[in-house]
Structure 1
Amino acid sequence: MAKLNKKMNNAAANDFSLTDFWLDLYRIPDSQKQLDLVKKILNKETEFVDLIMNPDIKVNEKRNLINNTFKDNVSEPMLKLLKKIFLQHTDVQTVTAVTAIPMDIKAREKLNDTLCEKLNKEIILINEVDTSIIGGVLLKVGDKIVDATLRNELKSIGKTLKEVSI
């Protein structure tokens, strides 16, 4: 448990909003009862904590481990919160998806799942809206940009047409 507390303190110092954590926790019915159960499981299953904190264990494996350990013991909102907490300590990549209109939840989830699988990292997806891109998506992943926007495609076609002599 000390190892977990140390990791949690590091998380608080690195982009882990404790305010968000408490707000999420407050929204979960019977949260105190569920937290007591989680604490009991974590104290009993010390190997679980070691595995979940191990940087060599892939995110998908950690996600499955969390699901298998807690899914029958806590509510779905608590399970999501536990994943947010534990997966915060893995390779996390923030990705900004710039779109012409706000992404709906299904599109966000699909993009998040695809990026998580491709990058083999937990993804924090931020959606920014820029109507000038017309359509498609511009992904900002670290210092890389993947431009799959309609604006970019139109620029490319325009450039090609200018180079063609008739």
Structure 2
Amino acid sequence: MAKLIGKTYAQALFEVAEEVDKIQQFKEELNSIYKIFDKEREFKIIFEHPKLSKDEKKDIINSIFKGKVAQEILNLIYIVIDKGRERYLMDIIEEYIRLSNEKQGIIEAQAITAVPLNEEEKLKLQNKLSEKLGKNVILKNIVDTDIIGGVLVKIQDKIIDASIKGQLDKIQKSLKDIRVTKIGVSKE
């Protein structure tokens, strides 16, 4: 349900953005709103609270965002409030960013590494992925010490596992298969 609502509202805003030629501007402004809601959990809780009236919620939004984001974005948030769908605002923003990226030929990817990539390594990996995919890849580095070494890249629903942990898991699986075959147990 959340995905459907997010898609519907995001698509409507995206169509408006195309008409007024503000796709990138809306994306940047929505990204700023997303960061505020993501970092300020208390603000999100207040915004979604059912005891707060629609007018009070609109006043809060006005006090924070009026003059800082396009009126079309404010209007979208007002509609979301009027329909009682505040809890879907993050889904709407995520879907709009996805639509915008798709239109601009941008793919977001995550590079999961044991230690942070320096800017040169990140740029090199980003350029390789962009070249391979034929799209502009925006790479976010996430540190996960379980990786041990190497890199695990997530692009949409695809995973490229060049991590040491992934290689060790493959070796372990193949050793188990060999052991099972050796003692006469079927692989099925």
TM-score, normalization by structure 1: 0.50
Match of 1:146, SS state, is strand
Please state how far the C-alpha of 1:18 moved relative to its aligned partner. 8.3
Query: In the TM superposition, what whole-angstrom CA distance separates every residue of 1:69-89 from its partner, at most 9, and x where no partner exists?
Result: xxxxxxxxxxxxxxxxxx996
In structure 2, what is the equivalent of residue 162 of structure 1? 176
Match of 1:107, SS state, is helix
Q: How much is the aligned-residue C-alpha RMSD, in angstroms? A: 2.9
In structure 1, runs of 5+ residues without a counterpart are 21-86
Alignment length (residue pairs): 96
In structure 2, what is the equivalent of residue 13 of structure 1? 26
Please state how far the C-alpha of 1:109 moved relative to its aligned partner. 1.0
Matches of 2:118 and 2:19, distance apart in 1 = 35
Q: Is the contact made by 1:98 and 1:137 (CA closer than 8 Å) also made in structure 2? A: yes
Find out whether 1:97 has 2:103 as its counterpart.
no
Residues 107 and 17 of structure 1, relative CA distance in 2, 3 Å threshold:
farther
Match of 1:138, SS state, is strand
Q: Is the contact made by 1:99 and 1:129 (CA closer than 8 Å) also made in structure 2? A: yes
Please state how far the C-alpha of 1:115 moved relative to its aligned partner. 1.0
The structure 1 residue matched to 2:145, chosen from 125, 131, 147, is: 131
Query: In the TM superposition, what whole-angstrom CA distance separates every residue of 1:25-77 from its partner, at most 9, and x where no partner exists?
Result: xxxxxxxxxxxxxxxxxxxxxxxxxxxxxxxxxxxxxxxxxxxxxxxxxxxxx
Please state how far the C-alpha of 1:17 moved relative to its aligned partner. 4.8
Matches of 1:101 and 1:6, distance apart in 2 = 43
Matches of 1:157 and 1:137, distance apart in 2 = 17
Matches of 2:136 and 2:114, distance apart in 1 = 25
Please state how far the C-alpha of 1:11 moved relative to its aligned partner. 1.6
Residues 121 and 99 of structure 1, relative CA distance in 2, 3 Å threshold:
same
Please state how far the C-alpha of 1:164 moved relative to its aligned partner. 1.9
The structure 1 residue matched to 2:164, chosen from 123, 142, 150, is: 150
Matches of 1:19 and 1:162, distance apart in 2 = 47
TM-score, normalization by structure 2: 0.45
Residues 17 and 131 of structure 1, relative CA distance in 2, 3 Å threshold:
farther
Find out whether 1:116 has 2:130 as its counterpart.
yes
Match of 1:117, SS state, is helix
Residues 88 and 18 of structure 1, relative CA distance in 2, 3 Å threshold:
farther
Please state how far the C-alpha of 1:90 moved relative to its aligned partner. 2.2
Identity of aligned residues (%): 37
Q: Could you say which structure has the larger radius of gyration?
A: 2
Match of 1:103, SS state, is coil
Residues 19 and 147 of structure 1, relative CA distance in 2, 3 Å threshold:
closer
Please state how far the C-alpha of 1:146 moved relative to its aligned partner. 1.1
